[in-house]
Amino acid sequence: MIRVAILDDQYIVLNGIQQMLAGNTAVHLSGMFRSKAELMEGLAAAAPDVLLLDIRMPDEDGISIAEWLSEAWPRIKVLALTNFDTTQYVTKMMQAGVKGYLLKNTDHNTLVDAIRCVYRDEQYIEPGLKEQIINESLQLKKLKGHIPSLTRREKEILRLIVKEHASSKEIADKLYLSLRTVESHRYHLFQKLDVKNVTGLVAKALEMGLPLG
């Protein structure tokens, strides 16, 4: 049987989870806590295998608590149970050592499945959020996969445009080039980055993380 504890400051959530898990032969609720202080005091006695952790707590945020747990109680698997449905929080919690991420509007079967999953030391992420993460990852890879190849001179000119907002004349004077040569390089940069003006050029360069050395 998997021993489960909950850390959440809302009675309605604690009672709801308690009722949801009541009678389940695979999961035993061993403790309920409303603050980190209560958790620190009662965690040893509760001895959970899995801790359901809310992200927003009144005394300390869930990310910090997760980091503390990963160091002080590494054997406990943490499953975030929250209302925050953004991939940003998923990433932060996973980096803090959390094994799973689940929304509070979950049903009984999904909750138990998630608990079992993290208990086996496997990662569990809310299906909808997992799909978002995959899509964002694919978009990032696609973006990185299309980084244009720039010549040394083009990188030099791009750096001056992005970092110093230099005009063509200023660039020509600084690099000892003719104005016509600089304009030619700017044109090639517009073509390679598929933009129509300097504003678009700067935005695209920053967005793609182009090397500006």
CATH number of 152-208: 1.10.10.10
Give the residue extent of every domain in the chain.
2-131, 152-208
The pTM for the full model equals 0.64
Q: What's the gap between Cα 140 and its chain centre? A: 14
Alpha helices in 34-151 (DSSP H): 36-46, 62-72, 87-95, 108-119, 127-145
Tens-digit pLDDT profile for residues 112-152: 999 999 999 888 888 778 777 766 655 655 555 566 788 88
Of the options 3.40.50.800, 1.10.1040.10, 3.30.420.40, 3.40.50.2300, the CATH number for the domain spanning 2-131: 3.40.50.2300
Which of 56, 59, 27 minimizes the C-alpha distance to 40?
59
Q: Any idea how long the chain is?
A: 213
Per-residue pLDDT at 91 exceeds 90? no
Dig out the tokens for 11 from the structure: 């009675």
CA distance to 14, 29, 167, 198, per residue, from 52 (Å): 10, 10, 56, 50
The rounded distance, in Å, linking the Cα atoms of 192 and 160 is: 17
Which of 157, 159, 187 minimizes the C-alpha distance to 173?
157
